[in-house]
Each structure stands twice: as structure tokens, then as C-alpha cells.
Structure 1
């Protein structure tokens, strides 16, 4: 799969770094914002340690559920998170994107890396999502941006 792409999004949140960090690392905070506009996050578990897993669900207004799971590879508190990212069932078993009718050739495992920088009480966050099929890149960026809009709105 040589056509895989990397999505890079940089956002500055009008929130302190500890709140943005918690949004990614604490299930209660994550449930408030995870998923694009009009999606909810009814379930989220996070075992925040190297080798620890996360499992989260995005639910559409029609009731469709999209589960994702991954393993934390690197954790530098308030600085950096690196984790794998895969589609899964509700038990955390990895499933191919084709099972969810997702377009493009997806690897079973992608990587997400997030860098956090304190900017005088605000937080600069840079997300790298690696391994995405080119035909889904714009949709993924829109989904992430909508999720980040919710993060800022719901955690203020």
C-alpha cells in the first residue's frame, strides 16, 4: 500500500494544556467530544500506559456505531501521545475497514501521534494520522476538525 497518506492538523485551543491532555487520556473527558458533528461517544475505555489499550465508540444519529481501538506506544505527559488506530468490534477485536464499507485500501493498523505545547494558557496541538487512503483524506480531516470543534466547545 504505497498510496497511504499522512494527515496533519494543527489547532490552538483556548484551553489549558491539562484540559486538552485530559480530553485524550481520560474516558469521561473523551466521551464529551469524540467523533464528528452529530456523533456521540457512548463508550470509551483508556488504559493509559505504554502497551495499554483504548476502545471507543462513535454513534451516528441513525444509531450506527463505529468502534476503534489501539495501543499506546509512547506517552510523555502533557507533551506527546503515540498510539495505533484500528477499526474494531465492540470488544476491541480489530476488523478490516472493508467490514464497515469504508472506501479505499486501509491497513489494519494506522498510527496517530499528538504533540501538545503550552502557549501562555492556550494549547497548541498537532495531530499526525498516518496510513490513511488518499480517497478518504478530506473526509478524515473534516471529521477530526469537527471533533476538535466539539472538544473546545464542550470542555470550556
Structure 2
């Protein structure tokens, strides 16, 4: 599957807005389902060499998600968020936080990481583009520097897996 990849980061007073644009050779409905259906999400969530053994999605405004990314060494990283806006097959806006396995928000230091705020914001849009789906992710509030670079790599590795799952 051919995908086009574009990433940019802009700084606003020490906080980054990471923007990633990917094009998938699949319908908007299928790409949307990959984000909204727990079984579909498990197939691609997390960077290369990570699996997603747990994905719970209460897909409604005010609903929450809870995901677990497991490294090849068995270390688990949990994440949660609340859906703020949903426009079917067009746009998802949610918060994004580290969590424990029960869905409680925890500091990044819980996982040995420094510098992350407790809550970030993720906006994903889906557009039809020449028979394919153009997906744009905006991840806001990431501290500038190395964390932005690592987040960019992690998202893009996840989206590589997403492209494979859509075949």
C-alpha cells in the first residue's frame, strides 16, 4: 500500500504542535473504523515492535478510550483520553494522557519519562483525496525538543502499521 508521509512541528512558547499528514490507499470509512473500532485499533496502535493487547473505546462525546502499548520486552504503557468532538467520518478531537491500567491519568514519570504535561490534545481529520484518504493528525501541547522528535517517530511507525492493516 502506498502512503505519503509529511510531518511538521511548530513551536509556541516551548510547546509543540506536531502535524502529520498521511495518505492511505483506502476509503475514509475504513480509515475511520481503524480509529473507532477497538479490534481494528489493536492491529496498528503503537510504534514498531509494540503490540496493543488492550483497546477500549467508548466512542461518543464525553466517552473515554484506554489503550495499552506493550514493548517487545513486555513493558506496558497505558494511555487514555476523552472524546471532545466527533464529526462522523471527518474529524475526531480528544485529550491524550498517560494512564495506569485502570484508566487513571498518571504523570509521564510513572513510565520513567520527563517533560510531558498531564494532558495533550489530538485532532484527526479524514478527507477523500483522489480516491484515497488523506488523514491529518495534530498533536498539541508536546514539549519542544527530543520529546517532539520521539512522538513524531512513534506516530509515523504506528501509521506505517495502520497502512499495513488496511490492505
TM class, shorter-length: over 0.9
Alignment partner, residue 56 of structure 2: 45
Picking from 110, 124, 128, the partner of 1:99 is 110
Question: Which sections of structure 1, spanning at least 5 residues, go unmatched?
Answer: none
- Tell me which protein shows more helix as a share of its residues: 1
The alignment status of 1:14 with 2:19, answered yes or no, reads: no
Give the CA deviation at 1:101: 1.3
Alignment partner, residue 83 of structure 1: 94
What SS is found at the alignment partner of 1:49? coil
Give the CA deviation at 1:121: 2.8
Distance 1:19 1:102 in 2: 34
**Any idea what the Cα deviations from partners look like across 1:57-80, whole Å, max 9, x if unmatched?**
000000000000000000000100
Distance 2:55 2:37 in 1: 9
Picking from 128, 140, 143, the partner of 1:133 is 143
Alignment partner, residue 42 of structure 2: 31
What SS is found at the alignment partner of 1:33? coil
> Comparing 115-124 with 48-57, which one deviates more in the overlay?
115-124
Alignment partner, residue 85 of structure 2: 74
Distance 1:121 1:34 in 2: 24
Q: Number of residues paired by the alignment?
A: 155
Scaled by the length of structure 1, the TM-score of the pair is 0.96
The alignment status of 1:153 with 2:143, answered yes or no, reads: no
Give runs of ≥4 in structure 1 deviating > 6 Å. none
Scaled by the length of structure 2, the TM-score of the pair is 0.90
Alignment partner, residue 117 of structure 1: 127
- Tell me which protein shows more strand as a share of its residues: 2
Distance 1:99 1:27 in 2: 25
Distance 1:129 1:79 in 2: 17
